[in-house]
Structure 1
Amino acid sequence: MISSIKIKGFRGFAEEQELKLSIPNGKKGSGLTVIVGPNNGGKSTIIEAFKAVSSRSDISFSEGQRNKVAGSKVEITLQTCDKKKIDGNYFHTYILKTHFAGGSEAERTFRIDNLPIIVLPSRRFFNPYSNKASYGGDEYRALSKSIMLKPRGQPIDAEDNGLFDLVKNSELKGRFDDLLEKVLGYRLKWTVDLCNSGDYYVKICQQNVDHDSDGLGEGLVSLLFLVEALYNSKNSLIVIDEPELSLHPELQGNLLEVILEHTKDKQVLYGTHSPEMVSIESVLNGGTLCRVAKQGNTSKIHKLDLDDGTKKFLENSIENINFPHVFGYDARSCFFLGDGVLIVEGQEDVVLLKKALRLFDIKSKINFFGFGAGGAENIKNILAILSSLGFERICCLYDGNKKDEKENVEEKFQQYYFELLNADDIRDKKCELRGKCNILKDGNYCEDCQNRITPGIFDIHRKEINKDYRDGFEEILKRIQVNLSYKPNISEAVTRGKVDDNKF
């Protein structure tokens, strides 16, 4: 199995970065490695690195693919760890690097036969017709054969396409169709046929009409490759660039479920832009979640590491019936941000703070962590997760009556920025005893209950900002906006997470 890959000098990786892959342990999703992060962060570069190191042909790196900060030299190192010894060793290292004299040509220190890797690029498609005399195909069917790394999104033709092998055996095809049905929700009728011109093609039957693969939607064509790779992978690592492409959320969820089952005892790695393809269950079972983002002049890889407290928090979060959103879709969307996240206590804070930004005409967008942390006590655990994933600019806003909690967390995470509301809560709250009070006065609740209203920024009906807090609240929001805004070399102007406005 593949234990790690190191990349230096390839595209945005000016400095050497290592990605450690998950090793399956029998639990659902334990062999899954998921790469998240913003656009242009380096996710696809990692996929291309696997493609390069596992290519069966000589590789050349163009001038634009070689990072000038790294001396225009590329080095990709792959390490395996297997229970079965390779050349007498449990571990083996494979290196692909440009020649010492410089230039585009690369050399490798290994035979490609030892690397069981299947790479599926983004925009998976194949030429509907192929003039190959046989179905072809082998363990490395989806790998580039070119001397130079091709642009992303190359077609996969009959020789590289394992679908052509399945039609030879009805039992194998039946099992493949069963797996595909789990994702699609219906059984797709397909086969490989030969047209009169002598070309092979994939024939699809829908509503009693036959047509070639050109008539299929892009998402369905992509699924054919994904499911075929999962079905035929044996002990290979499957590397996928954006498995969610052209799939609606339901199919993404179905595909993830199939992948989680597959990775009980096999390895899959993919880069994704979809929160639907991020599984907290996988992380808890030993899978890997890492974030790739530009920091300074290089792309950096940050792996999520969980201590016992954070792991327990995640376990409770996915079963929390009161706050099921804590790591729901909106919260997982934050993993794909470049940086700059505001964490607040609850969903009401998110809704009313967005309203306040409009009322104060603060136009800069602020990215909230989902719909809140589900309570002030959870903020420290979310900070631990985002810190592990390499976020540099985070602000935490606590209610005014949570000063002690805020100061304790601030002491631990001094690199981030913290604020305290200038009121006890985001809005006025009724006394918790109002519904149980038996002492009435003039048909209303007792005077004592009236005095127990928790003062907040907004009135009790969430319509207006209380005038006593307005000015101070506006200043708090402006400070948050400044500290979360992107600035070049912002780390130089941060002291305990606070940006000095005079430097910009």
Structure 2
Amino acid sequence: MPFPIKIPFDKVPDLFNGNPVDLTIHSGLTIFVGPNGSGKTQFLKFLRANSHVIPSICAARYISAGRLGFYEQYRSNAHGGRSYTNPEDAYMGDSGTKQYRLSSESAIGDFFTLSDRVDILIKVAERLRKIFHRDIILEWDSGRLKVNFKRTNEVGSVYTSAKEASGLLHLVSILTAIYNDEISILFIDEPEISLHPQLQAFLRMEMERVAGDPKIPGKKAIIISTHSPEFITIRRPEDICNFVFFSTIDTSPKQLAFDAKELKYNKIRSLLMRMGHIHKAAFFAQRPLMVEGPSDEIICSFLEGKCDLYLNAAGSQILPVIGKDQMPIVTKLFQAIGKTPVILTDLDSIADGTSLINALSINDKAEQKAQDFGHKSVHEMTKLVYGDFTKIVDNHWTELEIHLTSETITDSTQKKRVLLKYLLNSGIKQLNSLPFKSDLITARKRFDGLLGILEEAGCFLLRKGTIEDYYFAQPNVTTSDKITSAASETESMDQLPMEQINSQYADVIKALKYASLSPDINEAEAVSEILLSFAAPAISKLTSPSATLEITNMAMRLLGDKASLFKFEVEQLEGNNTLLVDKNSTILNVQGFPVKFTQQSNPNEVVKNNIKPL
């Protein structure tokens, strides 16, 4: 089984919209990463069912994420209506099912293996003894396999595995499968379950020890699906080819080839070799929001919570990229592995040049807008707009300088930063008072158009300059106290009305909303739909002498259990029978109750004008 092994599939049933998938096994350990619901588990099971197409594979084993589900009856009151089964009665399986230990998808198969294979038991038991101070004891009782433990570092009795930490049971199961040399290829869904981060790293190292060509004694191919950064290790740039990146269930996963052009760039290779934990965590986000540093991250994290944007739930994550020159490099890397990075960066990212824009993969909507402006592409538009802006600086700086700054500036880069910041933050009236006003106003309008198009492509510029230029209290910020100043700013903002924050931080909030993808959480919409579904029939009952009872019964009949959301009362108000509908819940973020309906009411208008998000 010489690597790489290419395994093409014309299609995978019920996955990836019927598109072909080309999986390449570059080494003994292949890792699937991606959000929930992106098809990782289903594809893993599909591979297990089709493992015969992989060369040198004799026996395959799949371990599910619910590998201890069968055991919960001994560990918790799973049903709720009765006491849970006595933990002392817990057993892992019986002799009748032992023959299926390699095809079992639960931990049962691994504990059967431990009872059969003394050599594997020794390997697992030694690690339990040295790392956890535990002895594992297997015994057959009336045809049932019981697993017990004993602490080795203190005096104590033997106790049932139903009272042992679930993480340790998960670890025993997976270690057993890793060491089992009967298995040629091992599929594990979410090996990190219940494990402390350090133990996840230990488990990854044990996988790496045995991962390899199954033809070699003691080696096996391992394919895992994970949500944990602890299973992301890159010791050389080509290691990223061992990762398969999933995005949605309708999109084929993405995998870099060894000869990918991105891996030929020295800067990307250098980045891969020094990736920190925060970069690894961003591997699990489909739309990482890249910001320039810790202070930007602090402000963005605060605004995310303040605006109820739920970036993480939407598949995004705030990723601070230290060093302005790193932004284009990180962008190229994430695009290469199928991510859609969103960028929030200082204004000098475009004042200094176009390298960041050139690194962007531009979507069709942004390209169309550039064409509407009369340009072939966004990149061409950027080049022309920036080029003409540079000419203004080169040709007219001497006349403009006195109006823009009190300092004498000789550095060309600094000149462009000062002028662009002034352009984007001044009104047309101010620009009209400057020399070469026609050129400046034209440049301003062209930059407004360009920045709007870049936002369609997921690139947002801080038009005021840097994140510190948005602070309500403008501190004299130095590099050493940027984080402290950012923290102080969030404390101050927490006391301000949302309207004021929205106005001051409009550029930042716009980027956060773009990254979040999801619309606002609006529980009022669902409540309104339910209320409208019976409001009209209820109004027709207002003339009945027993209107309250009839309307309540009708709501139960029409709405079923959903009727419990409301309380109904018919009262005489201003000489008219009026239906009062109140909310019967304390947890829904909805305002506007009680709602009043009369015989003349238009239910749609009443609900629309009253029921609002809280």
In the superposition, the TM-score normalised over structure 1's length comes to 0.63
One-letter identity of the residue aligned with 2:346: D
Residue by residue over 1:120-153, the C-alpha shift from the partner in whole angstroms, topping out at 9 and shown as x without a partner, is 111223772544179657xxx3325xxxxxxxx7
Secondary structure of 2:25's aligned partner: coil
Offset at residue 220 of structure 1 (A): 1.6
CA contact (8 A) 2:234 2:272 kept: no
Residue by residue over 1:390-440, the C-alpha shift from the partner in whole angstroms, topping out at 9 and shown as x without a partner, is 224x32122122225663221331233212222443227xxxxxxxxxxxx
Rounded to whole Å, the distance in 2 between the matches of 1:316 and 1:135 is: 49
Offset at residue 301 of structure 1 (A): 0.7
**Structure with the higher strand share, 1 or 2:** 1
Secondary structure of 1:385's aligned partner: helix
Secondary structure of 2:159's aligned partner: strand
One-letter identity of the residue aligned with 2:296: D
One-letter identity of the residue aligned with 2:15: G
Offset at residue 239 of structure 1 (A): 0.6
Residue 254 of structure 1 corresponds to: 202
Residue 139 of structure 2 corresponds to: 193
Rounded to whole Å, the distance in 2 between the matches of 1:226 and 1:459 is: 42
Q: How does 1:160-309 map to 2 (within 5 A)?
A: 161-167=112-118, 169=119, 172-178=120-126, 185-195=131-141, 197-206=142-151, 208-233=156-181, 236-263=184-211, 266-281=220-235, 284-285=238-239, 288-294=242-248, 298-305=250-257, 307-308=262-263
- Equivalent of residue 486 in structure 1, options 501, 517, 531: 517
Offset at residue 245 of structure 1 (A): 0.8
Residue 124 of structure 1 corresponds to: 67
Residue 386 in structure 1 maps to residue 334 in structure 2? yes
Q: With a CA cutoff of 8 Å and minimum separation of 6, indicate the structure with the bigger relative contact order.
A: 1
CA contact (8 A) 1:178 1:187 kept: no
Q: How does 1:38-117 map to 2 (within 5 A)?
A: 38-54=35-51, 79-81=53-55, 115-117=58-60
CA contact (8 A) 1:398 1:406 kept: no
Q: 1:213 to 1:395 in 2, by over 3 A?
A: same
CA contact (8 A) 2:61 2:183 kept: no
**Structure with the higher helix share, 1 or 2:** 2
Q: 1:373 to 1:453 in 2, by over 3 A?
A: closer
Residue 142 in structure 1 maps to residue 142 in structure 2? no
CA contact (8 A) 1:5 1:20 kept: yes
Rounded to whole Å, the distance in 1 between the matches of 2:59 and 2:49 is: 13
Secondary structure of 2:41's aligned partner: helix
Offset at residue 252 of structure 1 (A): 0.9
Secondary structure of 2:186's aligned partner: strand
Offset at residue 274 of structure 1 (A): 1.5
Secondary structure of 1:123's aligned partner: coil
Residue 33 of structure 1 corresponds to: 30
Residue 400 in structure 1 maps to residue 363 in structure 2? no
Residue 347 in structure 1 maps to residue 294 in structure 2? yes
Of the structure 1 ranges 209-218 and 363-372, higher mean CA displacement relative to structure 2 is found in 363-372
Q: Which runs of 5+ in 1 are unaligned?
A: 25-30, 55-77, 83-113, 145-152, 320-325, 429-451, 489-504
CA contact (8 A) 1:284 1:315 kept: no
CA contact (8 A) 1:310 1:385 kept: no
The two structures, once aligned, show a CA RMSD in angstroms of 3.9
Rounded to whole Å, the distance in 2 between the matches of 1:32 and 1:464 is: 46
CA contact (8 A) 1:177 1:187 kept: no
Secondary structure of 1:300's aligned partner: coil
Q: 1:230 to 1:345 in 2, by over 3 A?
A: same
Secondary structure of 2:354's aligned partner: helix
Offset at residue 227 of structure 1 (A): 0.7
Residue 108 of structure 2 corresponds to: 156
Rounded to whole Å, the distance in 2 between the matches of 1:254 and 1:459 is: 34
Rounded to whole Å, the distance in 1 between the matches of 2:301 and 2:58 is: 51
Offset at residue 272 of structure 1 (A): 0.9
Q: 1:336 to 1:453 in 2, by over 3 A?
A: closer
Secondary structure of 2:18's aligned partner: coil
CA contact (8 A) 2:29 2:242 kept: yes
CA contact (8 A) 2:240 2:256 kept: no
CA contact (8 A) 1:327 1:370 kept: no
Residue 15 in structure 1 maps to residue 18 in structure 2? yes
Residue by residue over 1:324-364, the C-alpha shift from the partner in whole angstroms, topping out at 9 and shown as x without a partner, is xx631x43233333x33311121222113334567xx5332
Secondary structure of 2:103's aligned partner: coil
Offset at residue 166 of structure 1 (A): 2.1
Residue 4 of structure 1 corresponds to: 7
Secondary structure of 1:477's aligned partner: helix
CA contact (8 A) 2:114 2:176 kept: yes
Offset at residue 373 of structure 1 (A): 1.1
One-letter identity of the residue aligned with 1:342: L
Offset at residue 476 of structure 1 (A): 1.5
Of the structure 1 ranges 472-481 and 223-232, higher mean CA displacement relative to structure 2 is found in 472-481
Rounded to whole Å, the distance in 2 between the matches of 1:232 and 1:44 is: 22
